[in-house]
Amino acid sequence: MEIRKFIFKRLIEILVIFFIILTVLFVLLRLSPGDPISRIVDPNMTPEDAQRLIAQLGLNQPIWVQYGYYLKNFFLGNLGISFHYGQPVTSIIWSRLFNTMILFTTAVILSALAGVYLGKIASWHKGEKTDTWLTLGALVCHTLFLPWVALILIWVFAYKIGGFPLNGMISAEIWTDPASGYWLKLLDVAHHMILPLVTLFLIHFGSYLLIMRSSMLDTLREDYILTARAKGLTEKVIRNRHAAPNAALPVITSVGLSLAFSISGGALTETVFSWPGIGRELVFAVSNNDYPLAQASFLLIAIVVLLSNLAVDVLYMYLDPRIRY
Amino acid sequence: MLKNNIILFILLGILFLLPLSCGKQQEHPILKIGLHEEPKTLNIWLASDANSKRILSLIYQPLYLRDPETLDLIPWLAAGPAEFHPETISYTVRLRPARWSDGSEVTSKDVAFTGNLINEFKIPRHYSVWKFIKKVETPDKHTVIFYLIKPKAIFQDRILTTRIVQKKEWSQVVETAKKKKKPLRFLLNYKMDNPVGCGPFVLMEWQKGTYLHLKKNTYFFGKNKRINGRLLGPYIDDILFKNYGTSDIAVLALKKGTIDMFWWGIQPGYLKNLQQNKEIKVFFNKKSALYFMGFNVRKKPFDDVNLRRAIAFLIDKDFIISRILQGYGTRMDSIVPPVNHYWFCPDADCYGKGLNRKKRIIKAYHILRNAGYTWEVPPVDHSGQVVPGKGIRTPDGKLMGKFEILTPPADYDPLRAMSGLMIQEWLRAMGMPVFSKPMAFGALLEKVKGQHKFDAFVLGYGSLSLDPDYLRNFFYSANDKPRGWNMSGYKNKKFDQLADQSASEMNPEKRQKLIWQMQKILMADVPYIPLYDPTLIEAVRKDTFSGWVNMVDGIGNIWSFCQVKPVSKWKSENSSLKD
């Protein structure tokens, strides 16, 4: 199938899937117990107050009327106003999106680069000490409990040794000081990023390493590797030019999806490091029945994941001309 | 070569960033406070979360507030006590000279505007109190007269403690809101970027998700004045609020000196660690809180007061306090917390106090047996020894069905979840087929408050008002409706009569008697079994700031923020005194 035709067909599929997600999301959130008012434990909130608020939020209307407004507003580009923040959800998500991306996307890229590189090395030295230690290290890191790693890193490097900030994304002391310049503020953000980045790196690089190692071992058994050796190519060239690019295909799928999901952040990492990202907001929105905020966050993730899938498929076709859908 | 360069680059980068961790030395000391979560909004009408309310309490001020020691209402923005005129059912309040943070004068028009705004928009959580105000008159710019529809005992505690907003700031918003299809929603969603208040601090900057910066309000009416015998500042120029998602990190921040105070209750588990640090001072304060077990008295077998009383005997509150709360809590034997000295009834029925496990079971057994309950294996045998009970039957001869005690999950509140489990074990010893069931807080509230589909539950109010009007809210027959606060479905005509009387009784002594009677009825009927009132544990650094004021509900009160001084200032003042 022609690439253009394939992309067009996939875009149509994406639209259908997205519409299904749009509907399922609406239904699921409303099926969850309670409503945005039910969690306000304040004896001064009378049933009449609650009813008035429910009416103001439009939640007293029949569910299909609410669904109609939901679809209409979505297609008009209006994702609504957060029940708890009282602000348009787009502005809330937008303010958090950059923070999430700068941390999580960087972490995915760094982990993938390291994972691919080390996976390549491990497979090349299969059965040797290098392979054993790298594989063992990857397995251990992959199974570590994220908050535990985060707390240990904070305790050692931020509290005991004291080289890093305990949490947050910026130092209020630097940002409130009018004398602080642009570069100092930029460095401050970088400084705050190191510990969460190391945590995410430690947790994630192992999976890429293991995928790469396994894929590389399969590739090394291929005939064209034998041919390359017969041609008298150096081991380095065979490994880096012939085996690794072919073995990296499964990793690309994994990285593509991880990159897409990275915009949803991570509630645990963001909570431990008080990183002002989307992950915590998403958890807050769902647990507090803040429908507009939850809907908008999930829809954003859905769009990015669907488009990333498409991008990965196209990339596959580009990297391996044998692949056609 | 390239690899080595990359490693060198990373190492240099880290070395370059290291000095940043030391932070910059500020020219003047900034009070740095850790919050558990970021405030959601600075719109006072929308704010329902604890942290928004905390920030706003330093900006917007009420006419009266509580004295930290006596808990009496004392004039704050008001110049003196409110004068009651029984013939017109009105109160006259005179304002002290005060200015808003923009320099304009605080007048009676602002007070009237605040009340009218609440009543006009029927602002949730405020309207239920203000709807009893017929009109607010402003004979001059420093006098306000509140006319009540009928005598209302909560007037002083609730209306006079409402935070006043500036007419100039809000009138335009109100006018625009009125033109909208959903005026209340417009008002609640109004983005308040720079709230104008008359409190000790004003908003300087809010970097969403990272910090909130308050600055000293130079127009604060209490500055250098002695109010209620306290010389007020504020003596600090700036406050920085930082967010800490977990208590673990906040405690480390406190120990490291990144923050001077953590404005959140600290779990007893951290205490030993904090107390070992010489630079940390720990405060213990009582809370006006109520944690309880409630029954659904609308359904069998919980409609039987004997069963509820027997369960009250079986619950070992002292065990809950000593083991689950690690000793940091107070046993509750009434719905009103003991710390609320004036309204707490000391001689209401008390269940199981001082009894050991065996005696509690025997007591419960006798109550149930006399009420017609039977067992396949009674929990007390012929020789009077306690044995595991089995197969309890209700007075109508039916086997008692399985029932659930709903609790919040352990990650939300481990104390309540664990209390539920312990209660389950104590009741099982009597042969009751009970299961403690932790569930998501929202789902729990929906079942208990919205649908009334439950057997029993363990819930709590972390911050009850000091006026006991909530007794009426929680147990008044008419409040037994979906979303109503009478979650148990308790109905008692005598109680309703007393509640009505107490709501309109303006004489404090007479009202106290009514409130005490209400508590006695409740403890006799036990729709709720009060369990405990946890101690509020807070920690500050003592090498940076000093002068925190203890009060019910903690040191994070307006008195503290008006009196806290940098330690250097205390030292210099003390040394000059010695000189």
Tokens at B139, concatenated: 């004979």
Candidates A45, A167, A175; nearest CB to B125: A45
Size of the A and B interface in Cβ pairs below 8 Å: 192
**Nearest residue of chain B to residue A271 (CA atoms):** B245
**Nearest residue of chain A to residue B10 (CA atoms):** A194
What is the predicted pLDDT for the residue at B92? 97
The predicted-structure confidence for A100-126, as pLDDT tens digits, reads as follows: 989 999 999 999 999 999 999 999 998
Candidates B125, B246, B447; nearest CB to A49: B125
Answer yes or no: are the C-beta atoms of B316 and B576 closer than 8 Å. Answer: no
CB contact under 8 A, A172 and B244: no
What is the predicted pLDDT for the residue at B40? 92
Interface of A with B in 141-200 (CB under 8 A): 151, 154-155, 158-159, 162-177, 180, 184, 187-188, 190-191, 194
What is the predicted pLDDT for the residue at A283? 87
CB contact under 8 A, A177 and B24: yes
CB contact under 8 A, A42 and B48: yes
Give percent of chain A above pLDDT 70. Answer: 98
- Read off the pLDDT of each residue in A167-188 and give the average, rounded to a whole number: 89
- Read off the pLDDT of each residue in A283-308 and give the average, rounded to a whole number: 90
CB contact under 8 A, A34 and B209: no
- Read off the pLDDT of each residue in B357-365 and give the average, rounded to a whole number: 94
**Nearest residue of chain B to residue A84 (CA atoms):** B40
Q: Work out whether strand B143-148 and strand B30-35 pair parallel, antiparallel, or are unpaired.
A: unpaired
Q: Which residues on B lie below 8 Å from A90 (Cβ)?
A: none
Alpha-carbon distance B52 to nearest alpha carbon in chain A (angstroms) = 11
Highest mean pLDDT range out of A248-252, A282-286, B26-30, B97-101? B97-101
Candidates A38, A99, A168; nearest CB to B445: A38
CB contact under 8 A, A49 and B127: yes
What is the predicted pLDDT for the residue at B53? 95
* CA B403/CA B431 separation, integer angstroms: 12
pLDDT of B99 higher than 90: yes
Q: Which of A176, A197, A273 to mutate to test the interface with B (most CBs of B within 10 A)?
A: A176
How many Cβ atoms are within 10 Å of A147's Cβ, its own excluded? 15
Could you identify the residue written with the tokens 């006799």? B524
What is the predicted pLDDT for the residue at A41? 66
Alpha-carbon distance A325 to nearest alpha carbon in chain B (angstroms) = 39
- Read off the pLDDT of each residue in B414-432 and give the average, rounded to a whole number: 95
CB contact under 8 A, A159 and B184: no
Q: Work out whether strand B230-231 and strand B280-285 pair parallel, antiparallel, or are unpaired.
A: unpaired
* CA B550/CA B571 separation, integer angstroms: 21
Length of chain A measured in residues: 325
Q: What is the ipTM of this complex?
A: 0.87
Up-side HSE of residue B361: CA atoms within 13 Å toward CB? 22
Helix axes A291-319, A249-261, angle to 10 degrees: 160
- Read off the pLDDT of each residue in A17-36 and give the average, rounded to a whole number: 89
CB contact under 8 A, A34 and B26: no
What is the predicted pLDDT for the residue at B393? 95
Q: Which residues on A lie below 8 Å from B210 (Cβ)?
A: 168-170, 172, 175, 276
Torsion of CA A97, A98, A101, A103, to 10 degrees: -120
The predicted-structure confidence for A209-228, as pLDDT tens digits, reads as follows: 999 999 999 998 889 889 99
Q: Mean pLDDT over all residues of chain B?
A: 92
**Nearest residue of chain B to residue A88 (CA atoms):** B189
Q: Which residues on B lie below 8 Å from A187 (Cβ)?
A: 16-17, 20
B299 three-state secondary structure: coil
What is the predicted pLDDT for the residue at B293? 97
Q: Which residues on A lie below 8 Å from B182 (Cβ)?
A: 56
What is the predicted pLDDT for the residue at B17? 56
What is the predicted pLDDT for the residue at A325? 63
Helix, strand, coil percentages in chain A from 3-state DSSP, rounded to 5: 75, 0, 25
Give percent of chain B above pLDDT 90. Answer: 84
CB contact under 8 A, B442 and A81: no
pLDDT of B223 higher than 90: yes
A60 pLDDT band, cuts 50/70/90, is confident
Answer yes or no: are the C-beta atoms of B94 and B156 closer than 8 Å. Answer: no
- Read off the pLDDT of each residue in B264-277 and give the average, rounded to a whole number: 92
Q: Which residues on B lie below 8 Å from A163 (Cβ)?
A: 14, 18, 21
Q: Determine if residue B43 is left, alpha or beta; phi over 0 gives left, psi from -120 to 50 gives alpha, anything else beta.
A: beta
What is the predicted pLDDT for the residue at B19? 53
- Read off the pLDDT of each residue in B484-506 and give the average, rounded to a whole number: 95
The predicted-structure confidence for B394-421, as pLDDT tens digits, reads as follows: 999 999 999 999 999 998 889 999 999 9
Instruction: Single out the residue of B564, B520, B495 nearest to residue B344, CA to CA.
Output: B520
Candidates A49, A194, A271; nearest CB to B124: A49
What is the predicted pLDDT for the residue at A58? 86
pTM, 2 dp: 0.89
* CA B173/CA B108 separation, integer angstroms: 20
A257 pLDDT band, cuts 50/70/90, is confident
CB contact under 8 A, B246 and A272: yes
- Read off the pLDDT of each residue in B242-271 and give the average, rounded to a whole number: 93
Q: Which residues on B lie below 8 Å from A191 (Cβ)?
A: 17, 20-21
pLDDT of B579 higher than 50: no
The predicted-structure confidence for B523-574, as pLDDT tens digits, reads as follows: 999 999 999 999 999 999 999 999 999 999 999 999 999 999 998 876 666 6
pLDDT of B324 higher than 80: yes
Alpha-carbon distance A283 to nearest alpha carbon in chain B (angstroms) = 13
**Nearest residue of chain A to residue B126 (CA atoms):** A44
Q: Which residues on A lie below 8 Å from B449 (Cβ)?
A: 38
B317 pLDDT band, cuts 50/70/90, is very high
* CA B417/CA B410 separation, integer angstroms: 5
CB contact under 8 A, B124 and A175: no
